[in-house]
A and B are shown apart, each in its own frame.
Chain A
Amino acid sequence: AQSVTQPDIHITVSEGASLELRCNYSYGATPYLFWYVQSPGQGLQLLLKYFSGDTLVQGIKGFEAEFKRSQSSFNLRKPSVHWSDAAEYFCAVTNSGYALNFGKGTSLLVTP
């Protein structure tokens, strides 16, 4: 069955520290891959996406993600976290091009 797994439910990092959020997927072929962020009271906002080509993709707000086919992973990274990055992060996958399959999310807490 097709699935998206975000192994970490909660992550706490200090402001200025680096961040990596994990995402693993189980699909028959390389799907389209996305990372979204959801802040309290806000809608989901796309951070970045991977369709093909360069496996390291750059997104908004200083985020990047690396697609690793051999590991079926699409991990999100940021070199230096800001307090405003505290939010819920969702990895999403589709091979149909329309119905996104979301992971359960990782809640990020940023400490001073």
Chain B
Amino acid sequence: DTGVSQDPRHKITKRGQNVTFRCDPISEHNRLYWYRQTLGQGPEFLTYFQNEAQLEKSRLLSDRFSAERPKGSFSTLEIQRTEQGDSAMYLCASSSGVGNEQFFGPGTRLTVL
């Protein structure tokens, strides 16, 4: 296992379209996190899963955003009716327990035209 992977690495879409991103965590990690990073800012927490249960969602996660982690393995983040303000780097991380190091993937860069 070489770490957290994310697909795609880049996505360009038109405003109003739906997009879906995938994250594959480190295989033995039961916790998975999504963050969003805009230019010149630090990552902002969006949501987190323990196994297949989504335990926390940030206020940043509007109704247009939905995340799933079926079977507690990979996760998907879907954005419906994308807006230009959704343009950002979407980061996924995984960890094996409370307070433990979160290992980050390379991110998916979304550009909404």
Partner-B contacts on A (CB < 8 A): 4, 32, 34, 36, 41-46, 49, 51, 90, 92, 94, 96-105
- Residue B41 at the chain A interface, CB threshold 8 Å: yes
Cβ–Cβ contact B4 & A100, under 8 A: no
Most A-side CB within 10 Å, residue of B45, B95, B99, B106: B99
Cβ-defined partner of A102 (8 Å) among B31, B42, B56, B101: B42
Cβ–Cβ contact A98 & B43, under 8 A: no
Question: Which chain B residue lies CB-closest to A44?
Answer: B104
In the complex with contacts A101-B45, A105-B41, A43-B102 CB distance below 8 A: no
- Residue B67 at the chain A interface, CB threshold 8 Å: no
Q: Nearest chain A CB to B29's CB is how many angstroms away? A: 12
Partner-A contacts on B (CB < 8 A): 3-4, 31, 33, 35, 40-45, 48, 55-56, 58, 91, 93, 95, 98-99, 101-107
Cβ–Cβ contact B98 & A44, under 8 A: no
Cβ-defined partner of A99 (8 Å) among B41, B48, B107: B48
- 3 smallest beta-carbon distances between A and B, as pairs: A102-B42, A97-B98, A44-B104
Cβ–Cβ contact B42 & A105, under 8 A: yes
Cβ–Cβ contact B56 & A46, under 8 A: no
Cβ–Cβ contact B43 & A102, under 8 A: yes
> In the complex, what residues of B have CB within 8 A of residue A34's CB?
101
Cβ-defined partner of B107 (8 Å) among A43, A100, A101: A43
Most B-side CB within 10 Å, residue of A44, A51, A97, A102: A44
Known: A34-B101, A43-B107, A97-B98. 9 other contacts (CB 8 A): A36-B104, A43-B3, A46-B101, A98-B33, A98-B56, A99-B45, A102-B43, A105-B41, A105-B42
